[in-house]
Structure 1
């Protein structure tokens, strides 16, 4: 595999973000937050979800309006960008497959955007995402990340790399040492030039707790259940209308955090609700005049009224 990773993020910006920057030069004045980040969310079978995000500082209302307008216009030609994005990723993955001898493929390509608030201001975030099947080697119960980076990995000064381990796995070894380690994440900041096969991370599966632990848990569950049954006589049960209202509040909060609009599929993912439940909630909210549904291709874009 060639050093395509060096220029990959820059190519994405040339494909997409630079058009917007030319209209709003002040948006690149970001300091504490890295402008570009790559999140590799590793899964238990060795696959990974990649998210390449670019943050754009929105210092004024005019800049935010310009960002939203540009992204709305982008949706009309999104398919062209996704095709170019997937072509470049597939070329990289073919090289990695040839170098490692491991079967690989990429799927679920997506480009999305959102407006978020941070401690240092408001940002527009453009995200490129895909699933890399066969990304990491699975060996002797361990997940080993790194062999796809045959020639290393390069982070420019404004870049950050985050590798997130799957549930029930712990970091056994990592090279080079990350700048930040928190919970299940390893974080490196640019400027950094990783060596061949780096970053290298070995993740070890943590076995389930001993059987006696489950015995204690079972006793606690029974005790809690008895306590709940006892209190139910004096505690009014929440009605179906109240449950729906609580769920609507949650969806409303998500929409506000996203700047007032989200795709319906994103709401399903964020809430963890089933598709049918989200559809019922959105129907109720639409009937109440809380939201509007806008058809975008095969997706529904949900906007606050």
Structure 2
């Protein structure tokens, strides 16, 4: 198929434009007397540069950051969360303190205002999805824009800037699989850059191209993400990832709980039991009378006694049915309600790994559920190192200190 290069060009422009943050913060090059500039360098327009020029711009404007990672988390419905993550290490040299102070000044401005940097990111992301829609024929949209900036205390203190958005219908959804790659066109990486594609929900990797990606686990199907890094340039349609979809019958909204599944057979059984008891009582009272009962004057009370016994039996059976129908309130909660209750019981803030442990659910189920809850505004996520901190509204931690430091 003849591919126009518009998608690849827009991809490059988006990556190039938002990466101007390296120049904006002036982190590595700034000396002790340098002031922090929060006015981004204006990017060149699409009409002003050729594809090869945008590749050069991509390499040039990221030089102030030590690492740049483009994280793409693909969801079961075909949408994806794109996160651009930039890291600047504050090394133990004479300028490290001043460099960190510059970054913190930049971070304060970045949090407080929608800077030109963030505005360009949102605008270019929308242009990117529009170009992808024209190329693929799928309806696409850029939504749920987010930004964050913080200093992570790793072995070396590191400044982290993240900007993300949700790309609807990013992947091609087929009967038994999802395919990623048709919107890529000649994407380049410089030495300090990486692309990471993550399997969201219950998706599992089937195949990847190029096949030299890095991943953890004994096999590709066990991996949660794949990573391409270092200086290279992908051909059209690469990187390409094929995911296996979970059984469609097992895919739900995660909110059915007990009422949506296990309670149905119980209710049916109770209903049949009650109907049977009522029929038995009616039969004893109003059913046909035997010859012995109709000719005996001494036994008219016997049927009534039998009916009373039957009624007593019916009451006992109904009580038993009520007991069998009694279900703990905890089991009637939806998955979202259980997570909110659990986080509230733990002070309004928890690590994602602890939610997995306390609920006994799989990591993929918890991850997908939390992503849905975050999109609905029920909770918020903060990534600290390799962990996600989950917070209810009003309990969000300050980004520049430990989430559990009061």
Same fold (TM over 0.5): yes
Deviations 1:145-165 (A, max 9, x none): 00111x232111110000001
How many Å apart are 1:267 and its aligned residue?
A: 7.4
Structure 1, unpaired ranges of 5+: 211-217, 219-242, 252-264, 283-290, 293-301
How many Å apart are 1:73 and its aligned residue?
A: 2.3
How many Å apart are 1:107 and its aligned residue?
A: 0.6
Equivalent residue for 1:133? Answer: 168
C-alpha change, 1:246 and 1:133, in structure 2 (3 Å) is: closer
Structure 2, unpaired ranges of 5+: 1-6, 32-61, 217-222, 251-261, 263-342, 352-376, 382-387
Of 36, 47, 62, which aligns to 2:79? 47
In the TM superposition, 1:234-249 aligns within 5 A as: 247=347
C-alpha change, 1:90 and 1:209, in structure 2 (3 Å) is: closer
Structure 2-normalised TM-score? 0.50
Of 241, 244, 258, which aligns to 1:204? 244
The separation in 1 between residues aligned to 2:230 and 2:124, in whole angstroms, is 23
Q: Which has the higher strand share?
A: 1
Of 9, 16, 19, which aligns to 1:13? 19
How many Å apart are 1:66 and its aligned residue?
A: 2.1
Structure 1-normalised TM-score? 0.66
Q: Which is higher, the Rg of structure 1 or of structure 2?
A: 2
Instruction: Please report the RMSD computed on the Cα atoms of aligned residues, expressed in angstroms.
Output: 3.6
Equivalent residue for 1:69? Answer: 105
Of 3, 16, 20, which aligns to 2:9? 3
Equivalent residue for 1:159? Answer: 193
Equivalent residue for 1:175? Answer: 209
Structure 2 SS opposite 1:180: coil
Contact 2:107 2:150 in 1 (8 A): no
Q: Structure with the greater relative contact order (CA < 8 A, sep ≥ 6): 1 or 2?
A: 1
Of 137, 158, 176, which aligns to 1:123? 158
Contact 2:206 2:243 in 1 (8 A): yes
Structure 2 SS opposite 1:181: coil
Contact 1:174 1:202 in 2 (8 A): yes
Contact 1:152 1:199 in 2 (8 A): no
The separation in 1 between residues aligned to 2:249 and 2:125, in whole angstroms, is 40
Deviations 1:225-275 (A, max 9, x none): xxxxxxxxxxxxxxxxxx989537859xxxxxxxxxxxxx89733544543
